[in-house]
Chains A and B, each alone.
Chain A
Amino acid sequence: MAETICRTLRDGSLEGEQSPALTIKDSLQSPLGSHVFDHFLSTLVSHISAGKSQASGLVLVAFDRSPSFYLDLFKTKGLDASLVDKSVRILDCYSDPLGWKDRLLHSTNAEESILKGSGTVFKNVRDVNKLLSSILDLGKGFTGEGKVRFAVAIDLVSIMLRHVSLPSVAGFLNNLRSNDQISCIFWLIHSDLHEPRASAALEYISTMVASLEPMMQSSDGQGTSGSLLWLEENSCKAKFHVRLKRCNGRVKLLYEELHTEQAGIRFEAASSVRTIVNQNLLPRVQFNLQLSDKERVDRARVVLPFEHQGNGEAIQIYDGRRSLSEGQKDPYLMQPSAFSHKMNTQTNNEKGEIHYIRDSDDERPDSDEDPDDDLDI
């Protein structure tokens, strides 16, 4: 549930442990990832401004959208501008990620880069170490009582992966996670912009994975051709799957539906409840054949339908009826498997005798079945 995620982000990390990390994953077929990101971002910022979260501030690394977009976003969500100012710092990697404007400045004396109030322009996204230190520097600016921790939100890791290699990005995120000033961290990726390996690597590093899937799967691979209905459905609704790695080593799988609305998005409990059973789990599960003590005692007490109960008593045959009367004796030495045939004849007399000749006794040795034929001498 989205609530669980918001709560986990708000509560942040425990002492001595790495901070929780969330990956939001979407694809072209269900492109609502940025809405989800905005939702979590604004919820967390509101928690931070209200002082309810472990983090005292948030550093937003904006690759995909400009800082002004985010400031407008916070305004529309009803967050007070001054509070936002105090608790959010935006690292602007959108305006000039590779520092080209500086080079242009030399030649044309174009407009200077304007440093916005809460945004610092970062000009060298290829240098991951510098990015890390800028984030930490921005984070140091937050004040608070006790140990100051801050949250980090990265707009689009897919853009980072465009500039630097996967191990660098993975190392960068890992360093952020293990830094003890960070309370929580979350990021968005578009999964079809990378090889599956990159998504797998990012999922490996994170503790929560929220993935968006289209409401209606398309039959052909392309997905864009086809019904208008499909397009319409998928652009305003999606399935929201969450996989949480819990600290007891188990995985929690949650599922919700996502609807877009005027003011943002809304999460709804799934209309059709599907349990996700781990199909590839147990090829062979044995039955527990060990008996507990009680079971062992009970077993010793069962009266068997044999002649000898094995305990030295007189021969008694239990024919399956309730009463075990003493007089019913039958002096025949049949095997218990054929017992049921003869039950009916026991009805009357105590001294009855039954002569029975086993079928196998009057069989002639069948010449076709000479057992010695099996020997290959």
Chain B
Amino acid sequence: MATAKDPNLRPIRTSSSFSRNPSAPSVAAPSPPVPGVKPGPSGAAFVSSGIPDLDKILGGGFLLGSVVMVMEDADAPHHLLLLRNFMSQGIVHRQPLLFASPAKDPRAFLGTLPSPVSSSKEERQRAPGLDPDAKDKEKGLRIAWQYKKYFGERQVPELHDRGIEQDFCSDFDLRKPLERQMFRAQQIDCISIQDSANLAVLREHCSTFLSNLSRNDGGNVNAGRIAIQSLCAPQCGYSEMDWDMVSFVRSLRAMIRSSNAVAVITFPTSVLSPSFSKRWQHLADTLLSVRAIPDEDKELAKLLTGYQDMVGLLHVHKVAQINTQVPVILEATTFSLKMQKRRSLILERLNQAPVDASSGTSYATSGGCSGSSKGSPLDF
């Protein structure tokens, strides 16, 4: 038969029944990998959000073909941090970018985008956070079961591909702006949505942008990014047309589903009526919210470790699941936003400070009717 001569078929001779062979030129991955796009399970593809911790939390990054919505807090501009990292990552990976904002001059925002840090020792120091657990596991496992083989296979590429991990998601230095020359070689469209009386213009722009990124073209299409800041900000002309805004987001979502792009939309929930705020939240595939924390709050400082460094809180409400019926269940949904050395953004799980036994706080009185005038914030 021709099988012996055919280089595309692998001879099935290994002892285990199935062996995963990533280098097999099978039909699953016909095209060479696009820079900045990582394949995931169930035929999904991820692009990085620009924040390594967020990628890990969301299970790989932002799913291509999904809409990410970020609920802003009226009190703090943290959504801009997320947007900046997202846009910078797109520029670093040479992905086309569409940016819409209610400012008069959206191009000015591009000047605040952070530039990636060239790999240094410090990143390697942080990255081992994921690896020593793996190494410990390898040493500590003494169960006589063959799965260790597969573990070894999977983990060795992880260790070697740390370089590739860095390519997927760069570490950004928020103090340094992105170099101008990166903008010139790029396709970046900026639109101001303040003076538009309706959303037709924005919709036009989005559809022309996405028509170049359609998923049905075979072959290698680059992933695109759409970033819309404060879509329902009160100064935009259409901000009282609630139903129009909802239908815009729905049509954007439909357009994105069939293209190789990710949209990140931030919106302030406080300026929408509660029912429409819920509708917007349901339209999202991935829903995050940022929240400000009170300043100089002694209660909070006692409750949490690392309160001094915290900039704000990030809450993950929903994680996108496309082509799969298995939901992503997160261990923790609330994270603190911290600036590491004022430079890069990290997300950490909230850690409770050790309880001071002498202070007699209300942890002990977590019953329904506590005598203290203010309830413990942990009552749940």
- A249 with B305: CB separation less than 8 A: no
Residues 263-292 of A at the B interface (beta carbon under 8 Å): 275-279, 281-288
B311 at the interface (CB under 8 A from A): yes
**For the complex, is A245 an interface residue (Cβ under 8 Å from B)?**
yes
Chain B residues lying within 8 Å of A101, measured Cβ to Cβ, are: none
Query: How many residues on A have C-beta within 8 angstroms of the other chain's C-beta atoms?
Result: 38
Q: Is the pair B234, A250 in contact by a Cβ cutoff of 8 Å?
A: no
Residues in A neighbouring B234, C-beta threshold 8 A: 166-167, 170, 201-202, 204-205
Residues of A within 8 A of B104 (CB): 175, 178
- The answer to whether A285 and B294 touch across the interface, beta carbons within 8 angstroms, is no
- Which residue on chain A has the smallest CB distance to residue B276? A197
Instruction: Digitize B292-308: 1 where CB-to-A-CB distance is under 8 Å, 0 elsewhere.
Output: 11111111100111000
Stretch at the interface among B49-57, B164-172, B199-207, B265-273: B265-273
Is A174 touching B235 in the complex (CB atoms < 8 A)? yes
Judge whether B380 is part of the interface by a CB distance below 8 angstroms: yes
The answer to whether A251 has its CB under 8 Å from any CB of chain B is yes
Q: Which of A173, A174, A245, A277 contacts B377 (CB 8 A)?
A: A277
Cα of A284 to Cα of B331 in the assembled complex, Å = 10
In chain A, positions 144-176 with a C-beta closer than 8 Å to chain B are 165-167, 170-171, 173-175
Is there contact, CB below 8 Å, between B74 and A277?
Answer: no
CB closest chain-A residue, reference B76: A249
Q: Which chain B residues numbered 220 to 249 have a C-beta less than 8 Å away from chain A?
A: 233-240
Please indicate which of the listed interface residues B297, B298, B312 has the most CB atoms of chain A within 10 Å of its own CB: B297
Q: Which of A166, A173, A248, A251 has its CB near the most chain B CB atoms (within 10 A)?
A: A251
Q: CB-nearest residue of chain B relative to A290?
A: B351
Taking the nearest CB of chain B, how far is it from the CB of A290, in angstroms?
A: 9
- Contact A197–B273 (Cβ < 8 Å): yes
For window 247-282 of B, CB contacts with A under 8 Å fall at 268, 270-273
Interface residues of A in 230-267 (CB under 8 A from B): 243, 245-246, 248-253
Which residues from A are CB-within-8-Å of B305?
A: 288
Whether A167 touches B334, Cβ cut-off 8 Å, given contacts A174-B235, A276-B294, is no
Q: Are B350 and A285 in contact (CB under 8 A)?
A: yes
For the complex, give the distance between the alpha carbons of A150 and B325 in Å.
59
Which residues in B have their C-beta under 8 angstroms from that of A228?
none
Contact A285 B378 (CB under 8 A): yes
Cα of A173 to Cα of B102 in the assembled complex, Å? 13
Given the known inter-chain contacts A170-B235, A171-B194, please indicate yes or no for A275 contacting B270, CB distance below 8 A. Answer: no
Is A38 part of the binding interface, using a Cβ–Cβ cutoff of 8 Å?
A: no
Min CB gap A377→B, angstroms:
27
Nearest CB in chain A: distance from B155 CB, A: 21
A253 to B76: give the CA distance in the assembly, Å: 14
Given contacts A167-B235, A167-B237, contact A286 B350 (CB under 8 A): yes
Which A residues lie at the B interface, using CB under 8 A?
165-167, 170-171, 173-175, 178, 197, 200-205, 243, 245-246, 248-253, 275-279, 281-288
Please list the 8 inter-chain residue pairs (A to B) with the smallest Cβ-Cβ separation, ordered nearest first: A201-B234, A170-B234, A288-B351, A250-B295, A171-B235, A170-B235, A249-B76, A174-B235
